[in-house]
Chain A
Amino acid sequence: MRSETLTPQRAGAAAAAFSVVAALAAVLGFLLIQGWPALSAGLGELPSHAENMWQLAGPLVFGSVLVAAIAMLFALPVALGTALYLVFYAPKRVATVLGGALDLLAAVPSVVYGLWGIMVLAPALAGPYAWLNENLGWIPFFAGEASATGRTALTAALVLAVMVLPLTASVIRSALALVPEASIEGAYALGATRWETIKLAALPFARRSIVAGSMLGLGRALGETMAVAMVLSPTPFLIGIKLLTSENPNTVAAYLAQTFPESHGIETSALIALGLALFAITCAVNSLARWITREKTK
């Protein structure tokens, strides 16, 4: 090992690395400074005529969690199936095409997903929603009056599911690729079928990464803004689980994008405070995901 003397080059590189710490501290600091006044906001000063921050934030956080959770409900099985198919079943050429398709899905900008969601997916789903509502309306999620436009919480969740799928699939896929060859061969040698091999050797090995991939997907879905802002037709302060109606809870991120451009003074502060809450939630979810994978590598 060469002796480490403090050269200007080394100091410069260290400063660049420190800028990461500084940048995150600045994010936290500036959001706190600018969001603080909202906590003591008086009546009539908050956006959407909210009485206080809790009344404003509560339903939005609920909406974010609801929509993101439903998105993961759809995304996780498909991501898991795709990753397993890619690693254990697909011929090489098919795997290349499929990998490219996942990359493409990941690369599409969220505003384009929004445009597609509102102009193509939502109208296409209005019919199926009416059917679900008529036949399965006794399930609380499908109750109420089905939206004629399809701009519902379920549509938003479906768009989000497509958007976070590549991330979750790639985390699971890289974990599956690391399953020791010996475990797989061993299972085959015992006469296990392909599925039994996956069940016995691969899934237990990749379990943590499957959980971590879902958490990362959830984090991404919680923070996703434009697609939800465009697709969802929100109702202020609503907390509800009816997914097919035209009255939907809004999400934090979408509310920020919709309200910020026309906000002033203390309203802006309130929105920044909401952003801080969103930052805290996504950070917690992502850190948990990283922690789960870190534990494994130790």
Chain B
Amino acid sequence: MTQLDNQLAIPELQLDVPVVHEDQSVLKAQSRALIKDKVIAALFALAAVAIAIPLISLLWTVVSRGLARIDAEFFTSSMKGVVGAGGGALHAIVGTLEITGLTLLVSVPIGIAAAVFLTEYAAPGSRFASCVRFLVDVMTGIPSIVAGLFAYSLFSLVLGPAYRSGIAAALALSLLMLPVVIRSTEEVLLLVPHDLREAGWALGAEKHTVIWKVVLPAALPGVISGVLNGVARIIGETAPLLLVSGFADAMNYNPLEGRMASLPVYIYTQWQMKGLDAQAYDDRAWSAALVLIAVVAVLALAARLAPRLLKGKK
């Protein structure tokens, strides 16, 4: 059809329009469709508003009740010997930092290396690679408590059923973190333009040199952002830590031995094992929740800003 035909066709269509509009039933059907459209649009908007209700209620409660114990003592003391009011969460904060650090130490190198294998080394359509991708998907869906049971099973087989430690918790969390790192790194590596790799190879560089000096630096901001998102996800995990690192009132710096407190488990145990002065325990639980949510929010924000900040430097 030429352009001229197109232009000619339009007036014809317009001629038809008044005829259609004279038909009352069509007019009615049209306005009914329009009303239906409006009502449904309002319903969808309502669904979007509905998600704000729990969010606002939750954040408001955490902030308003959590502020009660945001004081110096909370950040400088443990719960050792504390009954009733007072005490703090320093031991839990240190525990969470150590456990998270150990988790990163395990999951980040393995995760990045696995993603490099999937994008850089595996032949396209490789059976092994697609099998690994599928299993990464499966791993993403592992319930966190099952990860905890796994770490318990492994460590208790070697070191006895009473063994509790920070490192067992780190193992459980690594299992949850690993698929997040692999997925996000793989996505970023796929975004690195192929020209960059070819330029490196053309210069005579070895494949691993190109990966190490060209591909990974180009992908770094995205990788960091993925890791931060992963940390934000696992730092609030409670169930696996409850099983394998347990709860403790006193400071334990040693992740290899003994029960180790952590912020999420601290929240749970303060609420669950209330003493006589219930208010003091609830206050500590809410304050720890506020600290935890603030940490998660900062991590998520950093994950968003990281790519922009790191790219701006170059």
Contacts and interface: CB of A to CB of B under 8 A. Distances in A.
- Indicate, yes or no, whether A interacts with B: yes
Interface of A: 2, 4, 7, 9-10, 12-21, 23-24, 26-27, 30-31, 33-35, 77-82, 84-86, 88-90, 98, 101-105, 107-116, 118-121, 162, 165, 193-196, 216, 219-220, 222-226, 229-230, 253, 256-257, 260-261, 264-265, 268, 271-272, 275-276, 278-279, 282-283, 285-287, 290
A16 B143 contact: no
Interface size class of B (residues with CB under 8 A): 35 or more
Given A107-B297, A225-B144, A31 B150 contact: yes
A26 B154 contact: yes
Interface of B: 33-34, 36-37, 40-41, 43-48, 50-52, 54-55, 57-59, 61-62, 109-114, 116-118, 120-123, 128-129, 131-132, 134-147, 149-150, 152-154, 156-157, 161, 175, 178-179, 182, 201, 206-208, 211, 232-233, 235-239, 242-243, 246, 264-265, 267-268, 271-272, 282, 285-286, 289, 292-293, 296-297, 300
A115 B267 contact: yes
Contact of A116 (B43, B57, B138): B57
Contacts of A223: 141-146
B287 to A, nearest CB: 11
Contacts, number: 269
Contacts of A19: 110, 114, 178
Nearest to B285: A115
Which residue, of A113, A225, A253, A287, has the highest number of chain B Cβ atoms within 10 A? A225
Contacts of A89: 41, 44-45
Contacts of A35: 153
B238 A286 contact: no
Given A14-B121, A20-B182, A193 B141 contact: no
Given A16-B117, A34-B153, A226-B239, A111 B268 contact: yes
Given A108-B293, A264-B161, 7 more contacts: A9-B211, A20-B136, A112-B58, A112-B62, A113-B58, A230-B271, A261-B246
Contacts of A80: 47
Nearest to A85: B44
Nearest to B268: A111
A24 B139 contact: yes
Contacts of B156: 34
Nearest to A103: B300
A82 B47 contact: yes
A48 B182 CA distance: 40
Given A23-B175, A34-B153, A107-B232, A216 B43 contact: no
Which residue, of A15, A226, A272, has the highest number of chain B Cβ atoms within 10 A? A226
Contact of B149 (A13, A101, A112, A271): A271
